[in-house]
């Protein structure tokens, strides 16, 4: 049985998530940016919103 550290698992999971986001972006399933998110919200569509860790304080209140 292989001993895999928690850090290795986190790194692998991060890579997989990034790959999925890239696939969605290339397939035009994923939208990026404040303006795109605002358009989608105004249309009443549902989805999954990922907010960056370093988002501006003024933008935090909107979402």
pLDDT digits (tens, 9 = 90+) for 7-31: 999 999 999 999 999 999 999 888 8
State the pLDDT at residue 8: 95
Tokens of 13: 């999971």
Distance CA 47, CA 37 (A): 10
Query: Exposed/middle/buried for 19, CB within 10 Å: 0-12, 13-18, 19+?
Result: exposed
Is residue 2 predicted with pLDDT exceeding 80? no
Which pTM does this prediction carry? 0.62
């Amino acid at each position: 049985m292989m001993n895999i550290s928690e850090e290795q698992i986190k790194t692998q999971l991060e890579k997989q998530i990034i790959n999925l986001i890239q696939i969605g972006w290339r397939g035009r399933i994923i939208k990026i940016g404040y303006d795109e998110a605002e358009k989608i919200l105004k249309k009443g569509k549902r989805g999954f919103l990922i907010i960056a860790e370093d988002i501006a304080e003024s933008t935090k209140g909107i979402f």
